Chain A
Amino acid sequence: DTEVTQTPKHLVMGMTNKKSLKCEQHMGHRAMYWYKQKAKKPPELMFVYSYEKLSINESVPSRFSPECPNSSLLNLHLHALQPEDSALYLCASSQEGRGTDTQYFGPGTRLTVL
């Protein structure tokens, strides 16, 4: 099983809402990632978790709050977002987070902020 699942597939929220994105993998991977992808752009790394600890935070605004409850799950909590935060949010995982590892991506959550 080389699948990374993400829920929901689509999300529309207002600027005052609180919502969460979920990501799950059952490949035994110990590194998990959140990316933001705007239309016609490459993915931009937001956070990296390695062995359930936050190892990289790319200076993401605090209205995005990641959480890694266990080695299979990764959440992204959203609060007071802005319209410019509308994008495709991709989750990925890799075996150990090493430079040689392949990252496996989920299909993404398409977020629209009104």
Chain B
Amino acid sequence: AQSVTQLDSQVPVFEEAPVELRCNYSSSVSVYLFWYVQYPNQGLQLLLKYLSGSTLVESINGFEAEFNKSQTSFHLRKPSVHISDTAEYFCAVSEVQGGSEKLVFGKGTKLTVNP
């Protein structure tokens, strides 16, 4: 079974500082990786995903993540954060079960951006 480890449960940063949220996954022949964001009192939204090809994937709001197969990592980065980036961030990997696909989530990282 696939598993995802998010090493940091909470990450506090100041506005305009860079941030990295770490994610490691269990190795597999092929893997699809996702970052979802959950703002307070809302459902989850896809931030970005890696399926194949270029190992660097970007989102429309300035986040990027790099797939590193040798280190089995998919860390999320942003060079300059805003107050509005305060949210819970979940890393996830896709897993096949009984012929269907499902997401396996990490425990989440709470990003708090302070003024």
Chain A residues within CB distance 8 Å of chain B: 4, 31, 40-43, 45, 48, 50, 55-56, 90, 92, 97-108
Contacts and interface: CB of A to CB of B under 8 A. Distances in A.
Interface residues of B, number: 27
B102 A48 contact: yes
Interface of B: 32, 34, 36, 41-46, 49, 51, 90, 94-103, 105-108, 110
A-B pairs, 7 with minimum CB distance: A105-B43, A99-B94, A42-B105, A55-B100, A99-B101, A105-B44, A102-B46
Main secondary structure of the interface of A (DSSP, over half): loop
Contact of A56 (B41, B46, B94, B97): B97
A100 B46 contact: no
Contacts of B90: 42-43
Nearest to B46: A102
A92 B105 CA distance: 14
Contact of B49 (A41, A50, A102, A107): A102
Contacts of A45: 102-103
Given A90-B44, A106-B43, A43 B105 contact: yes
B18 to A, nearest CB: 25
Nearest to A107: B43
A56 B46 CA distance: 22
A100 B107 contact: no
Contacts of B105: 42-43
A99 B49 CA distance: 11
B13 to A, nearest CB: 19
A102 B95 CA distance: 14
A103 B103 contact: yes
A100 B94 contact: yes
26 contacts: A31-B100, A41-B107, A41-B108, A42-B105, A42-B106, A43-B105, A45-B103, A50-B100, A55-B98, A55-B99, A56-B97, A56-B100, A90-B43, A98-B101, A99-B32, A99-B94, A99-B95, A99-B101, A100-B94, A102-B34, A102-B49, A104-B46, A105-B36, A105-B43, A107-B42, A108-B42
